[in-house]
A and B are shown apart, each in its own frame.
Chain A
Amino acid sequence: MSRAEEPLLAADRRPEGAFATLRRGLRMMPEFRSGLPVTFLLALVATAGRVVVPVAVQQTLDRGLAGPGGPDLPLVRELVLGSALVVVLTGVAVHRMNVRLFRTTETALAGLRVRAFRHVHDLSVLHQQGQRRGSLVSRVTSDVDQLSVFMQWGGVLGLVSLGQLVVATVVMAVYSWQLTLLVLVCFLPLGVAVRFFARRLAHAYGIVRERVGDVLAAVGESVVGAPTVRAYGIRARTAARIDRAIDRHYRASVDAQKVTAGVYVSGELVAAIANAAVVVVGVLLGVGGQISAGTLVAFLFLVTLFVAPVQTASEVLNEAQNAIAGFRRVLDVLDTEPDVRDPAAGRSLPPGPLDVRFEHVGFSYVPGGRKALDDVDLTVPARTRVAIVGETGSGKTTFAKLVTRLMDPTEGRVLLGGVPLAEVAFASLRERVVMVPQDGFLFDASVADNVRYGRPGLTDDQVVAAFAELGLEAWVEGLPAGVATPVGQRGESLSAGERQLVAVARAYVADPDLLVLDEATSAVDPATEMRLASALDTLTDGRTTLTIAHRLSTAERADEVLVVDAGRVVQRGPHAALVDAPGPYARLHASWRRSSGRQPEPDPVG
């Protein structure tokens, strides 16, 4: 995920400035805009408290101690108490502003997070590029988290700093416009350098992020590949790889720290120059009678107020860039058009078993690339059981994905029950057409809960009955707590074959009119598989079944076999007609017979 690779989403390609991202974000987060003016108003009030102290110092010096009538202590007391009141009021304003800001941003971000999550489920990259799923997860988790952390820290800081900068400048100008101009001139080069600094920081932290990705990848290998590492005794080698990644990350972090420190002290240097300049010019102005001593001293205080936001900005700069980059990644999710969308006024599929029609269907995963399916034109009548066979990579799974509309064909169209798939409402489609993929993912819940996922509201007894109908009651009884047995994360407490049994049961209770099985029982032992298959056969009477077959026993029992090779249907017909005709099916079947031991067994060696 760290290396330079193809952007994950089409929207990722676009270069975009920070402000454009913010505008796009505001458009997409309506919750954020509500009440923003009041928050800004409070931010402005908040900065007032910061100016009051230097003003109090000036007033105390000029009017309280060096006033025309000698020291005036009651005045000093009034001044100080008044200022204290302002400080307290400011504190209350800051508190109100913080709470408002946190509430609106968190609400807006939660909304954004949920919308992005929903949208990701509509994107086909999710199931087509399984290995890059992690990057999609981070868009609804760490990217949003980073934004939220930034808003709680940098957002408030940035807002108050901005206000402080404005207020400090205004008050400085009231005291002495000449000195104000001087300070601004001193800071001018820094303003110009900001772009350069931002680029350097972005570069340095870009490398850090890449190295973090490398560390995660190296650690991930040692964790996911733990059995391999142990079985092959390559602990030292694996440790060396991880340590190398950690080292490189360390060095990149230190390099980035150098840049950050450099940026920070440049602000400090400019501030010192401004201070010295203010003293020199201020004294000269004072000698000329243009300002008072108190004004000059107050001005020196005000300069620190002016400097602080500049330094804060240099602190926030990098975090802000990171947060905006994360923001952009989240927004890109929402801006990516789903390849397959629910039609606006979708039609329902006609009731009863469905026939499947492919009209000159072609599909390629990459535009203009090799065709996974090429000019497939056929009809599967309703109520038939069809097996699709072929070598790995021949296009069998593409077939299944087009029928279930996980993807739309690049050429031609697919019709179910005479209705073009693109016009069928998702609600109707998903209710009537169910696919069991090879890796039937299980949720971290009980066996029964996982089956219920296919039909919410089933009781445990109904789930048990479903397993019994599938001929799996013995397996269920063997589980420590029956259907209440927890399956663990990703179903890992069960074996690969057992997970497939649950996945088939889940599809079975969904009671679809078109059932698509994509090597759904490849890890189940042959005896159980055959029991399951014959149970499905009797139970699926009256529905259409498409089975992508790993083991040709399925093809033998099917009403019709489709043989796919290099994206084309090269043979079709019942098993009996194909098996003796010369052609790919006969070859596939011969190989299958050998492996399933239906031919004379080779002499055991030794």
Chain B
Amino acid sequence: MPRRSDAVVRRGLRHVGRAIAEQPGIFALALLGSSLYGGMTVASAYVIGGVTDRVILPAFDEGATTAAALTLAAVVILAVAVLKIVGILGRRLFAGIMSFRLQADYRRRVTGQYLRLPLSWHQRHPTGQLLSNANSDVESAWFFVSPLPFACGAVVMIGMTVVALLLTDPLLAVVGFVVFPLVFVLNAVYSRAMSPRMARAQQLRAEVSEIAHESFDAALVVKTLGREADETARFAARATELRDGLVAVGRLRGLFDPLMEALPSLGTLAVLLVGAERVVAGTTAAGELVSIAYLFTLLALPIRAIGWVLADLPRALAGFDRVTPVLEATGRTAHGPDPAPGGQRGAALGLRDVGFGYDGAARSILQGVTFEVAAGRTLAVVGPTGAGKSTLAGLLVRLVDPRTGEVLLDGVDLRRLREGEVSSEVAFVAQSTFLFDDTVRDNVTLGAPYDDEQVHAALRIAAAEDFVARLPAGLDTRVGERGASLSGGQRQRLALARAVVRRPRLLVLDDATSAVDPAVEARILDALRAADRPVTVVVVAYRQATIALADEVVWLADGRLVDRGSHAELLARVPGYAQLVRAYQPPEPDAPDRQPAEARA
């Protein structure tokens, strides 16, 4: 996000406020722990001072000590330490819980959005980006919360130290008033300078990762064309840029770290300088000087914690800035108030002047498509590669909404139907099948209450029963990520069974039977269309056997519905159609297949 860098600190502090506002209770507990820790740290300095004044110095002066004095010293030191430990435990546990809660919470919100937002939104966002939004970006956004209570506790400690300084000696307090504000100023300057460098490094990391993803996915192409060296050069160029980016980050951090370390040391030395004069002047006791010096040493770590939070804020903001568009994305699929008309027969389908194009793209994919499919009829959608067939199929199940016109189910615009109505009436099998990393049964039922008998019946219709029976655990076999353990044809048949088991009133098959034998395909459609409630079917197909199963065919070319009719009619009327479906006829040298007359033969 290109924002002015001087706003980083302000935005960062607002982000801190957001974290606290989201988890106030846990933060309070963590702060309590941190304050206990802080108080005990200050106390331990005074214990050392007190022990110096009351036990050590007298003992050394007098050359003798008592067991009681020593025991007391030891007990006090240990008691303070135990309380400090309780403080640390509280601080760390609750800080951790706070950070993890925020992360879990935002992951739920982000993934909730993924499920709510329409498919058109998904199509605009690469998978890798969505995964990192839900994972690493959320983590970066709230990672700083872990040291936050520590840092807030450190602020408390600094406050206590200043008070202690004032009470001990106002002149010594001046040292504190110089050192502590300097800590904050340095941190602010650092954050501002670091922010753009960090963002750049993060951006380069993402780019390196993108190249690796793309190049490895393209492995076969890279290898078979022998382009490994070029790919490596492409990767190396970006990896080198990333290295330079990280070195730039390192340079700054390498400067900041020693500065932050030197400050408390120099503070301690200043205390010694001023304090020694005050001791000589008699206004301060030696023990008090030791306490203050010790306190400065102990403050070194908590002061770093402030630095950790501030230093991590640019990264947190960058992560949050990447998550925010997801959370704020609108354009979720709006659902209407109506129930689906329902019924026992297949659904009637109608398209009226439907047009579609991706947002911002000039190329319109569909234009003015109008047709109707009567209940229980089967329609084949045929057209050349890139004609818009898959887009049309997606419109019928409301994966996307048309830019113009309307899609009607039983006369009702899909957009007027309540959520869940379309999917309860319509089943869709996509060109590339998707299986969940789950059992065969769950992949068919998708959690709906179908019994094993129904699942088996669906598998039988989809010609999947035999191979499922041969799987090690039958219906309970896990299919692996994306169904990795199955072949393409097996995956396709499970996806078909998933549609069949639902007994939908409209079935949309987008070239979903390409890996299935034509006989099986015919059997599936027969089983669905026969019986008591013949289903309406829209099938996108190239195969003539599939087309032959349809009552009617629409010919789609360049996003327009060019013609519709029976297979024979289209063969006669549409040269492109004849060419396509008869492409596999043995070529006849004297009759070029462009001639429509041939179709009548």
Residue of A nearest to B447 (CB): A237
For B246, list chain A residues within 8 Å (CB). 102, 106, 148, 152
Stretch at the interface among B5-13, B165-173, B263-271: B263-271
For A501, list chain B residues within 8 Å (CB). 385
For residue A548, CB closer than 8 A to chain B, the reply is: no
Inter-chain contact A137/B212, CB cutoff 8 Å: yes
Inter-chain contact B276/A152, CB cutoff 8 Å: no
Stretch at the interface among A59-67, A178-186, A318-326, A377-385: A59-67
CA distance A232 to B258 in the complex (A): 59
Residue of A nearest to B301 (CB): A308
For residue A591, CB closer than 8 A to chain B, the reply is: yes
For A526, list chain B residues within 8 Å (CB). 542, 580-581, 583-584
State whether A71 and B276 are in contact (beta carbons under 8 Å apart), knowing that A152-B250, A279-B56, A392-B487 are contacts in the complex. yes
For residue B302, CB closer than 8 A to chain A, the reply is: no
For B563, list chain A residues within 8 Å (CB). none
- Chain B facing A: main interface SS: helix
For residue B482, CB closer than 8 A to chain A, the reply is: yes
Inter-chain contact B225/A430, CB cutoff 8 Å: yes
Inter-chain contact B59/A286, CB cutoff 8 Å: yes
25 contacting pairs across A/B (C-beta < 8 A): A80-B272, A87-B266, A94-B261, A103-B250, A110-B243, A117-B212, A141-B212, A152-B249, A224-B482, A227-B119, A249-B104, A258-B93, A280-B73, A283-B56, A286-B56, A286-B60, A406-B223, A489-B214, A501-B385, A527-B579, A591-B517, A596-B544, A597-B547, A597-B548, A604-B548
For A260, list chain B residues within 8 Å (CB). 92, 96
For residue A162, CB closer than 8 A to chain B, the reply is: no
Nearest Cβ distance between residue A493 and chain B, in whole angstroms? Answer: 9
For A507, list chain B residues within 8 Å (CB). 225
State whether A426 and B226 are in contact (beta carbons under 8 Å apart), knowing that A126-B219, A234-B446, A276-B77 are contacts in the complex. yes
For residue A239, CB closer than 8 A to chain B, the reply is: yes
**A239 is contacted by which of B84, B115, B333, B567 (Cβ under 8 Å)?**
B115
For B273, list chain A residues within 8 Å (CB). 76-77, 80
Inter-chain contact A215/B135, CB cutoff 8 Å: yes
Lowest 4 CB-CB distances: which A-B pairs, in order?
Answer: A430-B226, A597-B544, A102-B250, A98-B254
Nearest Cβ distance between residue B306 and chain A, in whole angstroms? Answer: 16
**A243 is contacted by which of B108, B116, B290, B423 (Cβ under 8 Å)?**
B108
For residue B224, CB closer than 8 A to chain A, the reply is: yes
For A406, list chain B residues within 8 Å (CB). 220, 223-224
Nearest Cβ distance between residue A285 and chain B, in whole angstroms? Answer: 10
Residue of B nearest to A400 (CB): B224
Contact with A along B445-457 (1 / 0, CB 8 A): 0110000000000
Residue of A nearest to B55 (CB): A283
For A283, list chain B residues within 8 Å (CB). 55-56, 59-60, 65, 70, 73
**B276 is contacted by which of A64, A235, A279, A595 (Cβ under 8 Å)?**
A64
For B545, list chain A residues within 8 Å (CB). 594-597, 601-602
Inter-chain contact B427/A106, CB cutoff 8 Å: no
List CB contacts (< 8 Å) of A215-252 with chain B. Answer: 215-217, 219-235, 237-239, 242-243, 246-247, 249-250
Stretch at the interface among A21-29, A346-354, A356-364, A431-439: A431-439
For residue A107, CB closer than 8 A to chain B, the reply is: yes
- Chain A facing B: main interface SS: helix
Inter-chain contact B290/A253, CB cutoff 8 Å: no
Residue of B nearest to A100 (CB): B254
Contact with A along B432-470 (1 / 0, CB 8 A): 101011000000001100000000000000000000000
Contact with B along A257-296 (1 / 0, CB 8 A): 1101100110011011101110110111011010011001
For residue A490, CB closer than 8 A to chain B, the reply is: yes
For residue A114, CB closer than 8 A to chain B, the reply is: yes
Contact with B along A413-451 (1 / 0, CB 8 A): 000000000000011011101111101110110000000
Inter-chain contact A118/B65, CB cutoff 8 Å: no
Inter-chain contact A226/B119, CB cutoff 8 Å: yes
For B547, list chain A residues within 8 Å (CB). 597
Contact with A along B240-281 (1 / 0, CB 8 A): 101100110111011101110110011011101100110110
State whether A280 and B70 are in contact (beta carbons under 8 Å apart), knowing that A91-B261, A106-B247 are contacts in the complex. yes
State whether A73 and B276 are in contact (beta carbons under 8 Å apart), knowing that A272-B78, A597-B581, A606-B376 are contacts in the complex. yes
Inter-chain contact A231/B431, CB cutoff 8 Å: no
Nearest Cβ distance between residue A241 and chain B, in whole angstroms? Answer: 8
CA distance A125 to B168 in the complex (A): 70
For residue A136, CB closer than 8 A to chain B, the reply is: yes
For B487, list chain A residues within 8 Å (CB). 392-393
Nearest Cβ distance between residue B375 and chain A, in whole angstroms? Answer: 11
Inter-chain contact A94/B78, CB cutoff 8 Å: no
Nearest Cβ distance between residue A474 and chain B, in whole angstroms? Answer: 9
Stretch at the interface among B16-24, B125-133, B347-355: B125-133
Contact with B along A580-606 (1 / 0, CB 8 A): 000000000001001111100110111
Further pairs besides A219-B130, A230-B423, A279-B73: 5, Cβ < 8 Å: A83-B269, A103-B250, A530-B583, A591-B519, A597-B543
For B276, list chain A residues within 8 Å (CB). 60, 64-65, 71, 73, 76
**B434 is contacted by which of A64, A79, A228, A257 (Cβ under 8 Å)?**
A228
Stretch at the interface among A6-14, A49-57, A368-376, A462-470: A49-57
For B290, list chain A residues within 8 Å (CB). 57, 61, 297
CA distance A503 to B102 in the complex (A): 46
Inter-chain contact B480/A524, CB cutoff 8 Å: no
Inter-chain contact B262/A90, CB cutoff 8 Å: yes
For B430, list chain A residues within 8 Å (CB). 227-228, 231
Nearest Cβ distance between residue A16 and chain B, in whole angstroms? Answer: 25
State whether A257 and B127 are in contact (beta carbons under 8 Å apart), knowing that A221-B436, A604-B549 are contacts in the complex. no
CA distance A602 to B547 in the complex (A): 11
For A221, list chain B residues within 8 Å (CB). 436-437
Inter-chain contact A233/B130, CB cutoff 8 Å: no
Inter-chain contact A225/B434, CB cutoff 8 Å: yes
CA distance A527 to B428 in the complex (A): 26
CA distance A537 to B240 in the complex (A): 45
List CB contacts (< 8 Å) of A473-497 with chain B. Answer: 475, 478, 480, 489-490, 494-497
For residue A300, CB closer than 8 A to chain B, the reply is: yes
For residue B600, CB closer than 8 A to chain A, the reply is: no
CA distance A439 to B122 in the complex (A): 22
For residue A570, CB closer than 8 A to chain B, the reply is: no
Stretch at the interface among B176-184, B291-299, B316-324, B406-414: B291-299
Nearest Cβ distance between residue B33 and chain A, in whole angstroms? Answer: 10
CA distance A264 to B96 in the complex (A): 14
